[in-house]
Structure 1
Amino acid sequence: MSRLVKRSMWGGALAATAAGILAVTNVGKDEGLRLKAYRDLVNVPTACFGETLGIKMGMTFTKAQCDELLLKRLDEFAGKVEHCVKKPMSDRTLVAFTSMAYNVGSGGFCGSTTVRLYNAGQFAEACRAMGYWNKAGGRVIPGLTARRARETAMCLEGLK
């Protein structure tokens, strides 16, 4: 269980933490809630708030199922972020990194320049390196550029 979920459970507001992550990182806005599986920009079957794990074309979901799936996956990705980021980080930085990892995958995130720089103590540079991940299918995607700008800003706020 990730630090974000543990904190929210202590406060009795697990759903509020997920809502906070959604509000700040705009996961739902970026991906949009899609109750029926679709193919994303690079032809990967996707559903709900951008979920790809186990998604097959023709699948359908309820909003409640999508919310539950997102919460579970955010906890999973936050745990992976905590595993590969070796330096202490604020909750804001953890949320920004979790949002990025949810979008690019934990392998992509953990192998990124962002993680390498953060673990080397170059915190601001690490946050700014998040902006490199704004492409899909080899082309710059305005929505990804906007998402990375929000994540970068949150990461930098977490350094203060």
Structure 2
Amino acid sequence: MANKSLLAATFAATLALAGALATTHEGLENKTYLDPVGIPTNCYGHTATAKIGQVKTTAECKKLLNEDLLIAIADVESRVKVELTIERRAALVDFVYNVGGTKFGSSTLLKKLNAGDARGACAELSRWVYAGGVKLRGLVTRRAEERVLCEVGL
């Protein structure tokens, strides 16, 4: 039972930390808008089903955030082959939430992480600050916070 409780606590902590990052950096937008590269986005950075003209309630947005974070957690868990601290897992989940699992899956960050180079993997976060070829201040800030979390314990 202790293992099951520990897994549940780890999952809850990861969800809480990643959710805090996502809500802080995405902000809440109930009405769908185009992000800096023209992708329809609403709520806390939700893109999967967002369409221009949609308006979501805050409750709907929180539900979408939780669903999207669960997808990001599953993506991280399926691709990472090394042990992760709660903080590193949360940083990666927020990263995947923001850039997507496909980009994470082919990243140097993931290659370094799975090769046992956690420090090098965390440093890779600082490279992911561009959208449509433009360096965005918001991404610089977000990646810096993810990197601090990622490097806890190194």
Aligned residue number for residue 7 of structure 1 = 8
Q: Paired residue for 2:19?
A: 22
Aligned counterpart, 2:91: 96
What does the per-residue CA deviation read over 1:20-77, in whole Å, with 9 as the maximum and x for residues that have no partner? 4333x2x112111000100000000000000100111011101111101101110111
Aligned pairs for 1:26-45 (under 5 A) are: 27-45=22-40
CA–CA separation in structure 1 for the residues paired with 2:30 and 2:87:
29
Equivalent of residue 115 in structure 2, options 114, 120, 132 = 120
Is 1:133 the counterpart of 2:128 in the alignment? Answer: yes
Q: Sequence identity, in percent?
A: 35
TM-score by length of 1: 0.86
Give the 3 Å change call, closer, same or farther, for CA 42–32 of structure 1 in structure 2. Answer: same
Query: Pick from 65, 68, 74: which aligns with 1:70?
Result: 65
Matches of 2:109 and 2:32 in 1, distance apart?
Answer: 31
Report the TM-score, using the length of structure 2 for normalisation. 0.89
Q: Is residue 46 of structure 1 aligned with residue 41 of structure 2?
A: yes
Size of the alignment, in residue pairs?
A: 149
Distance 1:49 1:79 in 2: 19
Q: SS where residue 35 of structure 1 aligns?
A: strand
CA-atom RMSD in angstroms: 2.0
User: Structure 1: how far apart are the matches of 2:115 and 2:125?
Assistant: 15
Unaligned runs of 5+ in 2: none
CA contact (8 A) 2:92 2:150 kept: yes
SS in 1 for 2:151: helix
Q: In structure 2, do the counterparts of structure 1 residues 17 and 84 end up closer, same or farther at CA, with 3 Å as the change threshold?
A: closer
CA change 1:123–1:20 in 2 (3 A) is: closer
Deviation of 1:19 (Å): 4.3
Q: Tell me, in whole angstroms, the C-alpha distance in 2 between the residues paired with 1:109 and 1:17.
A: 18
Q: Tell me which amino acid in the other structure corresponds to 1:21.
A: A
Match of 2:150 in 1: 155
Match of 2:53 among 49, 58, 66: 58
